[in-house]
Amino acid sequence: MGQHDGEPSPRRDDARALKQALALLVAFMTAEIVVAIISSSLALLADAAHMLTDAAALALALFAARLAAKPAKGALTFGLGRAEILSAQANGLTMLVLALIIVYGAISHLVSPSHVKPGPVLAVALVGIVVNLWATRVLGGHHHGSHDHGSHDHAAHEHDHEPPKRSLNVEGSYQHMLTDLFGFIATAIAAGVIIATGFRRADAIASLLIAAIMLHSSYGLLRASVRVIMEAAPHGIDPNAIGHRLAAQTGVAEVHDLHIWEVTSGFNAVSAHVVVDADYDCHEVRRRLSRLLAEEFALRHSTLQVEHARAAQPPLQIEIPAVHRG
């Protein structure tokens, strides 16, 4: 399984980025909860609650990243890489549940507005914007620089078949941070509106906007994680196109039982049964097809079963004894 040779370094980068974001998040979340209670701001409390799930999500993501880094052994022939996919799915589910709770609270506050103290809310929201900008930069910047292993040979071929460079696990944490950032921006605007106009329902409206962003992020994470768990073809890869590309190669008579799936983020696999023309070297054809899959579709973990097509048999000659008239 040579495909794993370059993975330990990105796994360590994942863990480092997650640790930095988690430490910053816990420190700020504690201060935010105190100010939210003092100022009676639902929007600020919604952000604090979301940050609490963020902290739990980051801790889970960090644990999943450590599991994924463990080598494959025993019955787990692919290792524990899918622990990251389960973590991403858990992130999506927590955002979904929390968004629904926030919607319920926001509707209540629209009907009966609370007495929000906008000054402390605005101050915390502005600090929160800075903190979350830093956290999203840590996770987002890590995305662009840490998962380039194995791609340098094909840097000039940045096509749609290249697998995503950020693990779905880190993507889940990144989405949490991003929704927090938008949430703080909405909260700061709501506090400004209350200060300028006294319109107290702005706090509840901001909470609804935060919930909408969370629902959108939750849907994306759940859809992506379910695709991996259901072993669908990776996003951007068309199995029919790949099957026709393989079948069109010289010496290939037929391709069937083609399966393409994503073991975990950035680790795509393909298997197929290839029938080779009788007068071609089936092992050479297999090597050629493996190179094609790696170079054109970034499918570097391929298992191809090859066999020769049966040579055409001459028609069976049956001698019928002549019948003579008596």
In a shared domain, residues 192 and 114: yes
Whether residue 113 sits in one domain with residue 245: no
* 182 and 257 housed in the same domain: no
Q: Nearest Cα to 21, choosing from 182, 165, 175, 136? A: 136
Same domain, residue pair 203 and 301? no
Among residues 172, 206, 229, the one where a domain terminates is: 229
Terminal Cα distance for the chain, rounded: 78
Q: Is the pTM of this model over 0.85?
A: no
Q: Does residue 295 share a domain with residue 180?
A: no
Q: In tens digits, what is the pLDDT along the chain, a chain of 326 residues?
A: 444 444 445 566 677 778 888 888 888 888 777 777 787 777 667 667 767 767 777 788 788 878 877 888 888 888 888 888 888 888 889 889 988 988 998 898 888 887 777 888 888 888 888 888 888 888 776 544 444 433 334 333 434 434 345 677 777 778 778 887 888 898 899 989 999 998 988 988 988 988 898 899 889 889 989 999 999 998 889 999 999 999 999 999 999 999 999 988 778 999 999 999 988 999 999 999 999 999 999 999 999 999 988 765 555 555 655 555 55
Please report, for residues 74, 321, the alpha-carbon distance to residue 324 in angstroms, rounded to integers and kept in the order given: 76, 10
Q: Cα–Cα distance between 26 and 39 in angstroms, integer?
A: 20
Q: What is the token pair recorded at 7?
A: 């993975």
Q: Clarify whether residues 138 and 201 are in a common domain.
A: yes
Number of domains the chain contains: 2
Strands annotated E in 204-281: 252-264, 267-276
Q: Do residue 264 and residue 298 come from a single domain?
A: yes
298: domain range? 239-308
Q: What is the CATH number of the domain that holds 257?
A: 3.30.70.1350
